[in-house]
Amino acid sequence: MAKINYNLEGKVALVTGGSRGIGLELARHLLKENAKVAVCGRKTENLKRAEEDLAAGENFLAVEAHIAKEKDVDRLFETVMEKFSKIDILINNVGMNLPSPPIGDTDPSMWQKIIDTNLNGTYLCSRKASLIMRDQKGGKIISISSTAGRKASPGMGIYGIAKAGIEMLTKVLAAELAQFNIQVNAVAPGMVRTDFSKPFWSNEEIHEMIIKNIPAGKIADIIDVVHPVLFLASEGADYITGQTIVVDGGSTIT
C-alpha cells in the first residue's frame, strides 16, 4: 500500500486519552507525519509507557490530567502552550463506558460519571482549544464519537447519549468557529479491535454475531480510525466542517 502523506509538519496536536489504544496510535501517526504531539491521560504509568514507546524526544509531551475536571483541563492547555507555544489540532479521544441498566434503573452517579468523561470532558477541552485557535486564526478540532450515538443499544444507553451529544456539539462549534478558520468534525467508529472492546470480539460467539451485521465482514482495526482523523487534521479537510465520518464497515446502513 502506498504511503499516504497528510503533511502535518510544523503543526502541534493535542490528543486526549493518548497514552493507549486509539489515542496512542493517533499520537504515533501524528509524529510520523512530522507534527509535534502532546497527550494526556489519568495514569502516570501509562503516560510513561507511551513516552518510552514513542521515543519522540522534544517533539512529544505527556501530561497527567482528568479532562472532566476543569482545573486539570486548564493546567493541561497551559502546559502544552508553555512547551509548544500553540495548538493547531485537538483530538478529543477520551471515552469510557460502564455497562448500564435501563435509564429508569440507573443510579445518577453512573449517569454523571459517563456523561462527565465523554461529553463534558469534550466540551471543556474544545472550549479551551477554541479560545487559543481563535487567536491563532485557525485550527482543527476532531472528536471521537461512536455509532452508539446513532442507535439505542442494550447496556450502552448513557454512553450513546453522551456520544450523540458530542455530534451536536461538533455541529454547534463548527457553526460558531467557521469565521475564525477553525474546522470542527468528528469520527464515529463502530466496534474497533481495542482492549476497550475486547470482551466482545474475543468471545467467538459474540464476535460472529457482531460481524453478521457488518457488510464489510470484519471489525475495524485501529488504523481504520486513525486515517480519517489524520485526513480531518490535514489541509485536505480545510473546507469540511460540522461533519461526522462514520467508520463502521457499513453496519449502520443495513
Determine the pLDDT at residue 5: 75
Domain positions in the chain are 12-247
CA angle 7, 221, 52 (to 5 degrees): 65
| Fold type of domain 12-247 | Rossmann fold (3.40.50)
**CA atoms of 134 and 182, how far apart (whole Å):** 8
CB 141 within 8 Å of CB 183:
yes
Local mean pLDDT, 10-residue blocks, the chain (254 residues): 78 96 96 97 95 94 97 98 98 90 93 96 98 98 96 90 98 98 97 82 85 92 96 97 97 89
The predicted structure's pLDDT at residue 234: 97
**Residue 6 is among the residues annotated as catalytic for this protein:** no
Q: Which of 6, 123, 159, 239 is catalytic?
A: 159
Identify the pLDDT of residue 3: 65
B/e letters for 47-77, b = 16+ CB within 10 Å, e = fewer, are bebbbeebebeeebbbbbbbbbbeebbeebb
Q: Is 155 helix (H, G, I), strand (E, B) or coil?
A: coil
